Amino acid sequence: MGKVFAVISFLPPLLQYQDYGPGYHHHWGPMWGMGWGGGVAMMILWVILIVVAVYLLVRFLQRERGAAPHETPLQILQKRYAQGEISKEQYEQMKKDLGG
């Protein structure tokens, strides 16, 4: 949590608008007219937020699918036997087939 706070605490100075005075005219549009202090920093922030959202969505969807991807076939077999999906004879035969 401390690392997240450290990163967030650097954002406000980066997002401040830089006023170049009344005679300054930019030709890059509103995003680039603010320089690194605004437009580019906001674009980087949005990219980071989108990457984090996609990462969290993928983790959530993997968790919803059921079996963890790191389970071995023997662990899955033991779980099925414990839940009563297969009989003891089926368990023993499948365990023998798996080499366990």
Instruction: Specify whether 34 is located in the same domain as 44.
Output: yes
**What is each CA distance from 64 to 25, 31, 57, 73, in whole angstroms?**
53, 39, 11, 19
pLDDT-based confidence at residue 61 (cuts at 50, 70, 90): confident
Q: Which residue has the higher pLDDT, 58 or 5?
A: 58
Indicate whether 72 pLDDT > 60. yes
Structure-derived torsion over alpha carbons of residues 66, 71, 76, 79, reported in degrees to the nearest 10 = -80
Instruction: Specify whether 29 is located in the same domain as 76.
Output: no
The predicted model gives 62-77 an average pLDDT of 77
Residue 35 is part of which domain span?
1-65
Q: Give Cα 87 distance to the centre of its chain.
A: 40
List of residues 6+ apart from 94 with CB closer than 8 A:
77, 86
Domains: count for the chain: 2
Q: Which residue has the higher pLDDT, 84 or 7?
A: 84
pLDDT at site 7: 57
Instruction: Specify whether 52 is located in the same domain as 21.
Output: yes
